[in-house]
Structure 1
């Protein structure tokens, strides 16, 4: 399927083609096993690191732009949404450390990018999901440091992370302006068993527990009370990435459907020759291209240093809805063959659903778009 547009320069096309080939050879063969085993894909993750795809936008590493990174996310997700998602988390953590961290904290970026260490971003809690400012984890001043207490929920890499950036309230009376980010090493937190997820089953999502965790003052990332805004800025990037990931899922599902419908014969000819099938494919291809353009527009705005919170929300909102629509229709085009456990389109459908939920539910994203549009 054509995937060219006016945003892409020669270097972007070359990057996309390189990552597509890498994903086809190094990621796709492991996708079904990652899904079945529901374990973090350590081996594939190391290969992604060796390919220079972790911390892709950081100047000290690959120094790529966000548009190029969105291409990386799409190509990885077309092969395995789990693999794309774990790479996305590394990007967000590298961004936070690079832009907000002390020199000591920035030293974490290199082992993160080489796959030697794994991090987590601990924002959400059992009672603080869409209302991210409602965190109950406390950080109480104690001498020359802080003591952290609380439970974090729905945390990617929870069971495998070597360290985490933890959002905790240092001033409950100040609301979101009293939330601070802390770097906490494992040992300062424990984790439960990973959740048994419907899709993207290798991202090791679970809970983190902080029980009287003492951290020094220099564990603060950014400044006191800046944690919520740090989180929101990182989510602006993350939503572009999730948008690209959703496009990748949709494209992978449609590609599978095209392969199946051109090979499956009924009534003496391939079912792809029937107008009813052809029009479905035409609509899905159009939806995917429109979603991709929204993602690329948001990426280009971020690369230009222009405001893009609205556009990032739009991109993630539309792309995730498209991913659900395309995967449902792709399964339908497979008929009974698509409904079998282990069918690629069955996995794509399960992987797509969470893109409408994490990094801001699509209902919350509509609120953001409305606020940024109407004031």
Structure 2
């Protein structure tokens, strides 16, 4: 069942139609093969880049697509409805471009940004560490200023596209305290940079998540984005946008689970009639549909505030919380609709359920989102 979208322009409608066609041809036809074999889809991200889908929310004069965030997020949702791992990696790429596009100098932007927004180079976001996930201010990876630039020493964890990306938005310590963290645009390969074995994850198998080990690699001084000590400001500003990206991905995943459940309920028969005609199951599907629509409305509200230049950090946390909790509930219910078959790999709903769990964890756990939301009540 097609999503009835309210898009702001005909251009946006055409873009969504292009996205659906590409996603059906390039993602839906390959997802099961790569997720089961846990193999990386070589050539897929350049295809998305050639279609203009990897730089959509950034200004055209920087090489982006110049699209409102509400449109970009709906593109992510369409991608996630076919392949969650690819949609998440697309969102992370956009997140990795944010520091340079927002805080970089004009010279830095002209040098690096066009190839990044065109998808010729794929990015990763390197903030978390083994002992510093939600508590980003506790990171220990050091960027020591030396004659040639910055010597990087330490470990960064949970990096989507780790070991494969062409560049990383790297956050490292240049001083003491929360004001001693800086952002650097790190290359994907460097002497003194090595990678651990990709994590053996519950889901999102086709795109690796890995740990980076920095052992004295030196980055040129012009790799510093913004000013020294501005890192946490950059990171948290980027994460507001990133949380909306994950909310959109979660909504697309939930939409796919709902559609699979509805299709199955219209095919499966018990006691002489289709199971969709049994009121008990019909009510489950109704709750699933309401959760998906609510998640979509919530992330679109936050996106429209962002597009208008209004504060949206609180709404971004609400959207991330609502959409990812909805995805977990909807995918679990989809498995229930399928009954015993839902617990097998013969149908995609078991994969949807595994993929939904991580949505509640990355870009700030949902417990952190509740903390952010609750702090908004303080006077």
TM-score bin (small chain)? over 0.9
**Aligned equivalent of 1:31:** 31
Q: Within 5 A, what are the aligned runs for 1:121-160?
A: 121-160=125-164
**Aligned equivalent of 1:180:** 182
Deviation at 1:44, TM superposition (A): 2.1
Cα deviation, 1:16-71, whole Å, max 9, x if unaligned, reads: 33322321222111111221122332222122112110011111221111000110
Q: Does 1:99 align with 2:130?
A: no
For the Cα contact (< 8 Å) 2:85–2:206, is it kept in 1? Answer: yes
For the Cα contact (< 8 Å) 1:93–1:120, is it kept in 2? Answer: yes
**Aligned equivalent of 1:44:** 44
Long gaps (5+) in structure 2: none
Q: What SS class does the counterpart of residue 29 from structure 1 fall into? A: coil
Partner Cα distance (1:9, 1:332) in 2: 39
One of 114, 123, 127 as aligned partner of 1:110: 114
For the Cα contact (< 8 Å) 2:195–2:210, is it kept in 1? Answer: yes
Partner Cα distance (1:148, 1:75) in 2: 38
Deviation at 1:8, TM superposition (A): 4.7
Partner Cα distance (2:15, 2:377) in 1: 34
Deviation at 1:217, TM superposition (A): 1.8
Q: What SS class does the counterpart of residue 153 from structure 1 fall into? A: strand
Q: Does 1:73 align with 2:76?
A: yes
Runs of 4+ with deviation above 6 angstroms:
none
Q: What SS class does the counterpart of residue 247 from structure 1 fall into? A: helix
One of 54, 61, 64 as aligned partner of 1:61: 64
Q: CA RMSD in A?
A: 1.6
Q: Within 5 A, what are the aligned runs for 1:311-322?
A: 311-322=315-326
Deviation at 1:85, TM superposition (A): 0.9
The 10-residue stretch of structure 1 (70-79 or 185-194) with the greater mean CA deviation from structure 2? 185-194
Q: Within 5 A, what are the aligned runs for 1:184-223?
A: 184-185=186-187, 186-188=189-191, 189-223=193-227
Judged with a 3 Å threshold, the aligned counterparts in structure 2 of structure 1 residues 5 and 27 are, in CA distance, closer, same or farther, namely: closer
Deviation at 1:5, TM superposition (A): 5.8
Judged with a 3 Å threshold, the aligned counterparts in structure 2 of structure 1 residues 328 and 190 are, in CA distance, closer, same or farther, namely: same
Partner Cα distance (1:295, 1:281) in 2: 22
**Aligned equivalent of 2:345:** 341
For the Cα contact (< 8 Å) 2:171–2:181, is it kept in 1? Answer: yes
Deviation at 1:288, TM superposition (A): 0.8
Partner Cα distance (2:2, 2:36) in 1: 31
Q: Does 1:86 align with 2:89?
A: yes
For the Cα contact (< 8 Å) 1:194–1:206, is it kept in 2? Answer: yes
For the Cα contact (< 8 Å) 1:130–1:361, is it kept in 2? Answer: yes
* Matched residues, number: 373
Q: What SS class does the counterpart of residue 320 from structure 1 fall into? A: helix
The 10-residue stretch of structure 1 (12-21 or 328-337) with the greater mean CA deviation from structure 2? 12-21
Partner Cα distance (1:342, 1:116) in 2: 36
Judged with a 3 Å threshold, the aligned counterparts in structure 2 of structure 1 residues 49 and 342 are, in CA distance, closer, same or farther, namely: farther
Partner Cα distance (1:163, 1:5) in 2: 34
Judged with a 3 Å threshold, the aligned counterparts in structure 2 of structure 1 residues 47 and 6 are, in CA distance, closer, same or farther, namely: closer
Q: What SS class does the counterpart of residue 63 from structure 1 fall into? A: coil
Partner Cα distance (1:302, 1:42) in 2: 33
Deviation at 1:110, TM superposition (A): 2.5
Q: Within 5 A, what are the aligned runs for 1:244-263?
A: 244-263=248-267
Partner Cα distance (2:73, 2:329) in 1: 21
Q: What SS class does the counterpart of residue 108 from structure 1 fall into? A: helix
Deviation at 1:363, TM superposition (A): 0.1
Deviation at 1:81, TM superposition (A): 0.3
For the Cα contact (< 8 Å) 1:7–1:296, is it kept in 2? Answer: no
Q: What SS class does the counterpart of residue 150 from structure 1 fall into? A: strand
